[in-house]
């Protein structure tokens, strides 16, 4: 059989289904979440050609799932594809501490579509699920359960007990995950999954770290890092960027009196009063101009940057104030302030004065955008503070940094006035103390964006910590080069967001002061002169003489390695790896590389494809690239698809506590997994834009896509079986001569090429609209316009056979091309439609089939062009009907189609019969003679011209108004004109269309190229024709209500109860049309009641008069 369709529609398919009758209606499953332990009988997937009238897609999907399970279809597909070209895919590991949400379903659907497509285009694609088992998400859950808040409480509970508790909840929802993921139709291997807590995985992580250490890319250093007091650990810079929130913080200006002149004070501004207790310096910009002023009201003398006087005064009011608000006493450069000593704010660390503290420092990082141009320095809590104090000798390299805050963010006994107080809770108390000293100049509040911990949702602090780093900055050029070799969809995420992040990449802190994670494999002597980095379990066993089946902290913290330098025993550092380091090691650790599977790794690295959400740009995508580039000098993936975020319907973040989104399983069980898959991947979210999830949108997919597709199959099978009952066989060979057959076959083969190309480029956002446009063409154009041929009322048996063979061919093409996107309904349809294939051509699943190749002999751009133009004309005329409430059943006298191109006129004229039939019009005229019906005039668009041409616009306006009809027509054709030396474009001229004399009864509609005019006048003849059409429509609907099949013989009776003259006239005038349409005998009940069993009787209103319809056995 052949394959094919029409495409190139980038708009979401929202057209109301017009053509294929709703032979099947939709029923839904129960609106409740699936109980994963629920045992229920699932009907088997049937290949029957008899399709019931009602269909529940969720129930049909359950049958498909059962079929896949019983026949182990996923494994079978892998076995069948063995020996093909490998297609490598990496699946990013989620945490199993919560249920999967729409973001997971979206990313999983994208991955499933691409990997199914790879398999069905001749590749072997293994897909393994993975689990992120370590790190803060697990620990945070445990600490909530155990009510643990501090490190001391963890140590008291015991790391072994703590990690045992973590291990116990790691896969708390693993079974539910497998159920939900499988229910969405995703094929992925859960049996052979990888877990970051497995010994084999952790050992590969050790190998990665040791390789980096060998390359000199690992170092231990003290840096001010983002720190989570909620999780009591440092975070990496990219983690700190994951959760910014708008908060209101204190905004205070504090005075620092000069030692040399206590009546003069330096002013510093801060939004973190809690850091003031650790103040060791003040920093000015050496290039700024500073002023010494006297406040008129208080008499206080202050020094601040001249450009920042606005921090204290409203300068507009200050200019007019009498007496002046302040008096300028002196001005000087920042360099002149350098070294000046000031009185410390608090007495806690006055001893630091001997180290050079409490003086003015200089650095260019001080800006004039906010504050006073003087920045207070607390080197333990600010990256720039630390750097500046280090440069000025207040902080000594290799020595500790003043940091009087414990791991939980509470002050230590170094600050007795605030000891035990949480830093943010201390802000008001500190401000009160400063006010009591008389050094609070002003105090307010500032709403600004501030980073919060992505896990505990507490505000981060920046804290000096001794940590282990990967020297990312040393390989920045290689990272950018490796990144440039990758292909991203959409591209802007790569070229703008990701590469900009790489440009500013900082060294990566990979150590965490935590417990449940892969321990850093670093052993060291007390003086740090001897360091051993272990790269494997075997190496550790050799160094210690012990055996290890587990290398979590509880098994290593007491392990010592004898020194080879005579320094006694080496002790392991306490830290564990950042879980992002573990997930970034996934390409190697999932297969225990390099300890096993070297050949497999060499064949499948780098991955052909990965996909995750936009939030992973600075997460998994980044860590993957850093480690791979450092190890192998290249990116670990070739192609990457980034999806946006799925939001609640109100465009807020989905929240369990707010309950602002429907449970995913409820939506699936109500509308189907296919519907939710298609809804998600046919949305802006596949272009990395946000999607406000609406359940109504999923419902529309069922109505506008799944039901029409299902009904086309049912329509085909009904007519195929009728054709067989009449003793005919559908031809195996296509010989398309009918225009519509040629079109749909050409469009179908065009679609195959289009989908293959777009999928090659991973552009799902163009593939799906193309497929949906094809479905629209198939259901609403091809099937509807050929219904009579399918039913045998066309040009004989051979024509009917060719129509059915064509429909079968393109329907099978749709099933094959859409199977990666909507795997359930296509599997179901394939099982039914494939019964018509020879047994040796039939597969047990559509997902075992290869995507068909296009047949170039059936491609025909000309016929596609002609049909597209015909569709445009029909759609434009339908809009006129809809605007004027003229029903399609009501004929119109005349439609005129006007286009300046002879080719266009010839194309529509060739398809004139289709246009007449579709528009229910008695007369159609297609012409290029616009002047006969339309008169063009032109007006200057003075708003546009005035901005561009200024005074010349007034001269040009009268010239434009002189244009003749032909002048305007020429302008419309070329879209440009020259007037008084100025070239004008479309925006410069307003074209006015007026009907020519004698065309007043017409309505028009156009698309800028073609104009359609429709005669709105109605006559008695047209009214009777419309009544006759409505009569036949009522009969057909009654047949459906009675559950009759196309081949069922009946006799039709009617009674014009009120003897309406128009009804009587319509039935007499259009008797031939009615007979041809209903195809069964029909008679007036008044001439005699039925002599056989009545099937159905119904009284209705026709032309606002009562009419009785009766269907009886013949």
Place of tokens 């207790």: 277
pLDDT of residue 237: 67
Place of tokens 């990313």: 107
DSSP H stretches of helix in 11-89: 57-70, 73-80
The answer to whether the CB of 102 falls within 8 A of the CB of 679 is no
| Angle value at C-alpha 1001, between 997 and 1006, nearest 5 degrees | 90
d(CA 940, CA 987): 9
Question: What is the set of active-site residues?
Answer: 93, 132, 580, 616, 620, 653, 656
pLDDT of residue 398: 60
Check residue 45 and report its DSSP letter: P
Check residue 83 and report its DSSP letter: T
Give the residue ranges of the chain where pLDDT is below 50: 1-43
pLDDT of residue 25: 47
The answer to whether the CB of 521 falls within 8 A of the CB of 534 is yes
Q: Which residues pair with 584 in a beta bridge?
A: none
Closest CA to 652 of 592, 695, 692: 692
Q: Which helix (H) or strand (E) holds 752?
A: helix 739-760
Closest CA to 404 of 382, 423, 384, 431: 423
For 915-946, give one letter per residue: b (16+ CB within 10 A) or e.
Answer: beebbbbbebebeeebeebbbbbbebbbebbe
pLDDT of residue 2: 28
Give yes or no for a cis peptide into 594 (omega within 30° of 0). Answer: yes
Q: What pTM, to 2 d.p., does this model score?
A: 0.79
SS3 1046: coil
């Amino acid at each position: 059989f052949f394959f094919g369709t029409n495409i190139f529609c980038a708009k979401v398919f929202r057209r109301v289904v017009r053509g294929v009758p709703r032979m099947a209606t939709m029923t839904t499953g129960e609106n409740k979440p699936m109980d994963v332990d629920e045992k229920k009988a699932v009907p088997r997937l049937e290949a029957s050609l008899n399709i019931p009238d009602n269909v529940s897609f969720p129930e049909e999907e359950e049958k498909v799932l059962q079929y896949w399970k019983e026949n182990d279809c996923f494994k079978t597909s892998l076995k069948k594809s063995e020996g093909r070209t490998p297609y490598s895919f990496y699946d990013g590991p989620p945490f199993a501490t919560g249920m999967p949400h729409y973001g997971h379903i979206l990313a999983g659907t994208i991955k499933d579509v691409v990997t199914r497509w790879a398999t069905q285009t001749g590749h072997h694609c293994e897909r393994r699920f993975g689990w992120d088992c370590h790190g803060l998400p697990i620990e945070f859950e445990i600490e909530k359960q155990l009510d643990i808040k501090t490190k001391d409480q963890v140590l008291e509970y015991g790391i072994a007990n703590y990690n045992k508790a973590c291990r116990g909840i790691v896969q708390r929802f693993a079974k539910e995950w497998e159920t939900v993921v499988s229910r969405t139709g995703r094929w992925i291997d859960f049996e052979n999954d990888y877990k970051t807590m497995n010994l084999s995985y952790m050992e590969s992580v050790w190998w990665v770290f040791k390789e980096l250490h060998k390359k000199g890319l690992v170092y231990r250093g003290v840096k001010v890092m983002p720190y989570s007091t909620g999780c009591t650990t440092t975070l990496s810079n990219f983690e700190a960027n994951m959760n910014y929130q708008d908060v209101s913080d204190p905004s205070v200006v504090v005075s620092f009196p000069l030692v040399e002149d206590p009546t003069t004070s330096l002013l510093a501004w801060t939004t973190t009063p809690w850091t003031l207790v650790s103040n060791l310096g003040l920093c000015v910009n050496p290039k700024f101009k500073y002023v010494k002023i006297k406040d008129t009201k208080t008499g206080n003398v202050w020094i601040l940057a001249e450009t920042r006087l606005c921090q204290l005064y409203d300068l507009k009011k200050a200019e007019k104030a009498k007496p002046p608000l302040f008096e300028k006493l002196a001005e000087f450069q920042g360099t002149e302030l350098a070294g000046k000593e000031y009185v410390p704010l608090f007495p806690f660390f006055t001893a630091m004065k001997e180290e050079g503290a409490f003086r003015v420092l200089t650095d260019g990082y001080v800006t004039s955008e906010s504050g006073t141009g003087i920045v207070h320095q607390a080197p333990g809590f600010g990256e720039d503070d630390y750097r500046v104090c280090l440069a000025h000798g207040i902080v000594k390299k290799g020595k500790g940094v003043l940091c009087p805050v414990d791991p939980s963010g509470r002050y230590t006994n170094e600050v007795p006035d605030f000891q035990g107080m949480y830093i943010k809770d201390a802000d008001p108390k500190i401000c009160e103390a400063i006010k009591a000293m008389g050094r609070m100049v002003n105090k307010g509040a500032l709403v600004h964006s501030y980073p919060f911990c992505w896990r505990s949702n507490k505000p981060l602090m920046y804290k000096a910590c001794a940590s282990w780093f990967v020297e990312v900055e040393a390989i920045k050029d290689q990272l950018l080069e490796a990144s440039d070799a990758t292909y991203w969809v959409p591209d802007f995420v790569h070229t703008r967001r990701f590469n900009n992040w790489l440009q500013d990449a900082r060294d990566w802190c990979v150590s965490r002061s935590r417990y449940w994670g892969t321990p850093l494999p670093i052993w060291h002597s007390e003086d740090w002169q001897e360091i051993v980095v272990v790269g494997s379990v075997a190496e550790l066993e050799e160094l210690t003489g012990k055996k290890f089946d587990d290398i979590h902290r509880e098994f290593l913290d007491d392990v010592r390695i004898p020194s080879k330098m005579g320094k006694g025993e080496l002790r392991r550092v306490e830290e564990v790896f950042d879980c992002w380091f573990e997930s970034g090691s996934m390409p190697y650790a999932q297969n225990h590389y390099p300890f096993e599977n070297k050949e497999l790794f060499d064949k499948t690295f780098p991955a052909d494809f990965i996909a995750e959400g936009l939030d992973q740009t600075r997460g998994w995508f980044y860590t993957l690239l850093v480690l791979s580039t450092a190890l192998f000098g290249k990116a670990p993936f070739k192609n990457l698809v980034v999806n946006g975020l799925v939001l609640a319907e109100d465009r807020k973040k989905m929240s369990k506590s707010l309950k602002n989104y429907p449970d995913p399983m409820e939506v699936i069980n109500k509308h189907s997994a296919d519907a939710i898959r298609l809804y998600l991947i046919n949305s802006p979210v596949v272009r990395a834009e946000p999607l406000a999830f609406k359940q109504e949108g999923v419902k529309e997919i069922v109505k506008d896509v799944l039901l029409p597709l299902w009904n086309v199959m049912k329509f085909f099978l009904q007519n195929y079986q009728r054709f067989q009952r009449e003793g005919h066989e559908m031809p195996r060979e296509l010989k398309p001569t009918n225009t519509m057959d040629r079109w749909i076959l050409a469009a179908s083969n065009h679609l195959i090429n289009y989908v293959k190309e777009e999928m090659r480029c991973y552009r799902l956002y163009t593939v799906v609209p193309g497929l949906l446009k094809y479905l629209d063409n198939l259901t609403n154009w091809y099937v509807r316009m050929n219904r009579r041929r399918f039913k045998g009322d066309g040009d004989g048996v051979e024509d009917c056979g060719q129509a059915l063979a064509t429909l079968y061919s393109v329907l099978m093409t749709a099933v094959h091309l859409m199977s990666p996107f909507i795997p359930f309904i296509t599997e179901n349809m394939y099982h039914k439609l494939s019964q018509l294939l020879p047994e040796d051509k039939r597969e047990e699943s559509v997902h075992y089939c290869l995507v068909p190749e296009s047949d170039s002999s059936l491609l025909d751009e000309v016929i596609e062009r002609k049909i597209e133009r015909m569709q445009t004309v029909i759609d434009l005329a339908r809009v006129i009907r809809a605007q004027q409430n003229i029903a399609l059943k009501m004929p119109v006298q005349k439609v005129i189609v006007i286009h300046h191109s002879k080719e266009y006129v010839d194309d529509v004229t060739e398809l004139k019969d289709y246009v007449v039939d579709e528009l229910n019009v008695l007369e159609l005229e297609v012409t290029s003679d616009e002047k006969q019906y339309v008169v063009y005039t032109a007006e200057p668009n003075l708003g546009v011209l005035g901005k561009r041409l200024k005074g010349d616009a007034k001269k040009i306006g009268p010239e434009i108004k002189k244009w003749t009809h032909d002048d305007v027509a020429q302008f419309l054709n070329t879209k440009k004109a020259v007037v008084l030396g100025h070239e004008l474009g479309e925006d410069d001229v307003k074209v006015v269309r007026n009907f020519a004399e004698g065309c007043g009864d017409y309505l028009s509609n156009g698309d800028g190229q073609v104009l359609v005019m429709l005669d709105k006048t109605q006559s008695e003849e047209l009214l009777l024709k419309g009544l006759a059409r409505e009569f036949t429509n009522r009969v057909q609907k009654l047949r459906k209500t009675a559950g009759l099949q196309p081949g069922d013989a009946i006799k039709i009776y009617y009674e014009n109860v009120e003897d309406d003259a128009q009804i009587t006239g319509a039935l007499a005038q259009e008797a031939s049309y009615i007979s041809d349409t209903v195809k069964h005998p029909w008679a007036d009940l008044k001439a005699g009641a039925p002599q056989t069993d009545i099937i159905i009787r119904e009284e209705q209103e026709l032309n606002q008069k009562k009419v009785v319809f009766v269907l009886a056995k013949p």
